Amino acid sequence: MKNTPTAHVRFAFNRWLKGALTVVLLAGASLSAALEVRFEPVTDGVFAYVGDMGPRTLANEGLNANIGLVVTTQGAVLIDSGATWESARQIHEAVRRVTTQPVRWVINTGGQDHRWLGNGYFKAQGAEILAHASAEADMRSRGNDHLETLRAALGPRASGTTPTLPTRWLTQPDQQLELGGVVFEFKYRGGAHTPGDMLVWLPQKKLLFSGDVVYVDRMLGVIPVSQTKAWLATFAEMERLAPTRIVPGHGRVTDLATAQADTRDYLRALRAHMKKAVDDGVDLSSAIKTFDASLYLRLLNAAELNPGNASRTYLELERE
């Protein structure tokens, strides 16, 4: 190009445009950097990301849950894939900061959005995705609704996400697989928070990924698809395994005693109260009002979640 005055002006304009674009891109980048996925070491080769304990927001990109990671010599195993394509991508970046191993396997511990809506991203990376077969109907029926809710909360940050089913279904109540030389045991006892919830047990490390079977620090949620009876049966299986460390579905990495106090005891108290109410012919609203939740109001989100939990447990007991 000849160095004519016009070309010179054009060059200056292009340089200005490039500068302006850089400013816009940086602004965009700082907006997207709100979610910081960072894996903390739990034990040899095992890591956990402890997510936000409040509701789904733009700041946490819908990822208000924990994610687990096991690094083997033949690849990385991710426990749960995140809430969206974008949050899955950020989980992947966090994995890369911990290991150079590719994510070869993804396990979905249940059918709640943040457990599996990142599957599309990891499937595109070539990962094999495993879940219990009992999660399938739940994923199919609620996946699109979840996505709509996330779109409303996240806007364009939810784009690229499509409900993508696992590539391999586990069909047994007890199943063992060796992934990259590490033994994984999967325990299914009828579901918990969602119908497909299962435990992921690493016997060699005495470590358990509980998915939404264990909530600590914050109050658990009994939702319409939850089964509190099966939830306690799943919990009992975990007690039998006697893990030394638990990566819960929500809350800080924990031990069995804390899981019992924050999850099991609350579920037991709810069920005992509601069973008596149903047996005595007490109506729903009186049963909710007379439930003493004072021991559990220390848990985050308790005031918002307890009334709904009480109501749905009553309805479940009525059906039993």
Q: Would you tell me which residues interact with Zn ion (CB under 5 A)? A: 65, 112, 212, 249
Nearer to Zn ion, 113 or 316 (CB): 113
Residue 78 CB, shortest distance to Zn ion, in Å, is: 16
149 residue type, one letter: T
Reduced to 3 states (helix: H, G, I; strand: E, B; else coil), residue 163 is coil
**Main-chain dihedrals φ then ψ at residue 70, nearest 5 degrees:** -120, 125
Nearer to Zn ion, 120 or 249 (CB): 249
Ramachandran region, residue 215 (left: φ > 0; alpha: ψ -120 to 50; beta: rest) = beta
Nearest-CA neighbor of 135 among 92, 180, 80? 80
Nearer to Zn ion, 213 or 317 (CB): 213
Residue 221 CB, shortest distance to Zn ion, in Å, is: 7
How far apart are the C-alpha atoms of 61 and 2, rounded to whole Å?
A: 50
Nearer to Zn ion, 219 or 310 (CB): 219
Angle 302-319/228-241 helices, nearest 10 degrees?
100
Neighbour count for residue 302 (Cβ, 10 Å): 17
How far apart are the C-alpha atoms of 64 and 114, rounded to whole Å?
A: 7
Residue 215 CB, shortest distance to Zn ion, in Å, is: 8
Residue 115 CB, shortest distance to Zn ion, in Å, is: 7
> Which sign, positive or negative, has the C-alpha torsion 21, 36, 166, 135?
negative
Residue 112 CB, shortest distance to Zn ion, in Å, is: 4
Nearer to Zn ion, 99 or 149 (CB): 149
Residue 222 CB, shortest distance to Zn ion, in Å, is: 12
Nearer to Zn ion, 53 or 77 (CB): 53
212 contacts 251 by C-beta, under 8 angstroms: no
